[in-house]
Amino acid sequence: MALLLTEADVARLLPMALAIEAVEITLFESQGVAMEDIAVAARVAARARAEGVGQELPL
């Protein structure tokens, strides 16, 4: 099951995130798992097409 983080979620959580002191911040370095990257890219592209936004670029 995929978890979708909406714009409303970000708006609600952002003030809390900004209030965290620097000593409490954890740095996560994503090395990128190719299958996850491809899955996310496919969903983003499908949603962009469905909403009629974005621009396709020739490869």
Task: Quote the pLDDT of residue 57.
Answer: 82
Task: Quote the pLDDT of residue 6.
Answer: 77
Task: Quote the pLDDT of residue 40.
Answer: 86
Task: Quote the pLDDT of residue 50.
Answer: 92
**Over the stretch 2-58, which tens digit does the pLDDT of each residue have?**
667 777 777 787 777 666 666 666 666 667 678 888 888 899 999 999 999 888 888
**Alpha-carbon distances, residue 28 vs 18, 25, 32, 33 (angstroms):** 17, 10, 11, 14
Task: Quote the pLDDT of residue 25.
Answer: 62
The tokens for 49 are 């097409």
Sequence spans of domains, the chain: 9-51
Tokens 């996310």: give the residue: 40
